[in-house]
Amino acid sequence: MRIPEGQPGAGNLLNVYHAEINTETSCYSMLGLAVSINDGLYWTDLGEIVRLNQPYKPDLGGFDIGSPQMIASPDGQYFYIYFPDWIANGSLQPTKTTKVSVARAPMAEIFAAAFSQHPHAAKFAKYYQGAWDQPGIGGLSTDLNPNAPYAGSTNVAYSGAFQRYVMITDDTANIAYAESVDGLAWTLTVLLGTNQDYGPTSYDYAVPLGVGDDPNVLGKQFYVFFTHGSPQGWPGNTVERFTVTCE
């Protein structure tokens, strides 16, 4: 995202990144922030913002926290970030997980920390049982959509047309849609597309983008971009999109 006028670092770029630590059989993933002061040519790592509730161990099974972006609250006070969480229960495998959890931090604190004398990531807080009192790094979190029939990696944007949040999820096989007025209570996910008719391929990294001047704000019609995985691997992958129209 480009930092708006009137904020520290206005005009520069701020981005969420997905990072991984290798385990013996897979990887352990987390989210961090980076900033660029030269329009994306170089990036400075500000540090982690969200880590799973399950602490890292070398013999853990794999878990993907996704590649979400931050979404601004309509009142301009907070940035929210949505992700699946692994809740620690003593198992080395992800047997207790959330379909979607959320963390937030005040916008002013994020911008101020990123462009302070010693740039760093602001502290995020996870939402848990009605309060924003769990640390973004390692805290507990509530499952906001436990009965959703489709889940996976999550990206959220705000719909200016309908004054609500829109969530797009992908689980490598299906891309689905849900919406929320307050960002906490979500409708069940509705299937938008599936790769079951295409053989051993995958749908990944699905993200909603508006068609207006600000791609972070959705209208009655918007795009969903995604990668269509090839059986041959990355050389055969393509970036594709479809259009969603809401009534």
Please state which of the ranges 23-27, 60-64, 184-188, 235-239 shows the lowest mean pLDDT.
Answer: 235-239
What CA–CA distance (Å, rounded) separates 98 from 96? 7
Q: What is the dihedral of CA 75, 112, 102, 11, to 10 degrees?
A: 70
What CA–CA distance (Å, rounded) separates 186 from 178? 6
Q: What is the pLDDT of residue 241?
A: 94
Please state which of the ranges 106-120, 138-152, 157-171, 229-243 shows the lowest mean pLDDT.
Answer: 229-243
Whether pLDDT at 37 is above 80: yes
Sequence ranges of the domains in the chain: 52-105+125-245
Query: pLDDT of 57-69, one tens digit each?
Result: 999 999 999 999 9
Question: Which residues, listed in sequence order, are joined to residue 39 by a DSSP beta bridge?
Answer: none
Mean pLDDT estimate for the chain: 93
- Full-model pTM: 0.94
Q: What is the pLDDT of residue 197?
A: 59
Report the CATH number of the 52-105+125-245 domain.
2.115.10.20
Query: pLDDT of 148-203, one tens digit each?
Result: 999 999 999 999 999 999 999 999 899 999 999 999 999 999 999 988 755 667 88
User: By C-alpha distance, which of 210, 207, 6, 16 is closest to 103?
Assistant: 16
